[in-house]
A and B are shown apart, each in its own frame.
Chain A
């Protein structure tokens, strides 16, 4: 079974600084996708960034970027120029690809609560 581990239950960062959230996963599949979602106090899930496992290039979305190390099964999220609105719980997620027997199955980590200090 696929597992996702977020080893940092809580992180804090000063406004305008950079912070990195860690995520590791365990899988024997070769076809999969990785995501970071943000969940603010409203509990609405918001996609931050996504990465296809077959792509070597790290995904970037404005101030958000990932460090995808496929061999190490690591998928960390870097937030640059942190803003007060970035404060939320962040979840790393794994989804099995179409070539998998578990195609579409999506697994989430336990989350990291990010606090942004003004």
Chain B
């Protein structure tokens, strides 16, 4: 079955450490997105990528980095520069030419700094 997979589901990080969240899709979608969701709040855009080897900053990119070396994969690194990284992270994708179509979302990764 086609879908978008985020791993791990839960992630714990010590302060000062970098951590990478995985997002993989087998939907043959071109565009991929990373969002952060804090408790009781909406989704805030971190980074997005329309095609391989290209990505743009979203509204809260500071302290995060991404890569898009393969169409299927869009990993997000939360760096030590991110002041408050504890949050729920969602990855999404949409198909080529599908700006008017629904985004498919992963199940999310809950990151906790300990």
Q: Which residues of A contact B (CB under 8 A)?
A: 1, 6, 33, 35, 43-45, 47, 50, 52, 91, 93, 95-98, 102-111, 113
Contacts and interface: CB of A to CB of B under 8 A. Distances in A.
Contacts of B105: 44-45
A107 B99 contact: no
B58 interface: yes
B60 to A, nearest CB: 11
Contacts of A106: 33, 45, 48, 92, 103
Interface string B37-58: 0001111110010100000101
A28 B48 CA distance: 21
Given A1-B59, A44-B105, A97-B99, 13 more contacts: A6-B42, A45-B90, A45-B103, A47-B102, A91-B42, A104-B48, A104-B99, A105-B45, A105-B48, A109-B42, A110-B42, A111-B41, A113-B40
28 contacts: A35-B102, A43-B107, A43-B108, A45-B92, A45-B105, A50-B100, A91-B42, A91-B43, A95-B99, A95-B100, A96-B99, A97-B99, A102-B56, A104-B31, A104-B48, A104-B94, A105-B45, A105-B56, A105-B58, A106-B45, A106-B48, A107-B59, A108-B42, A108-B43, A108-B44, A110-B41, A111-B40, A111-B42
Contacts of B92: 45, 106
Contacts of B44: 108
Contacts, number: 61
A109 B9 CA distance: 24
Contacts of B107: 43-44
A52 B59 CA distance: 23
Nearest to B97: A98
Interface string B84-114: 0000101010100001111101011000000
B35 interface: yes
Given A91-B43, A103-B50, A98 B99 contact: yes
Contacts of A104: 31, 48, 50, 94, 99
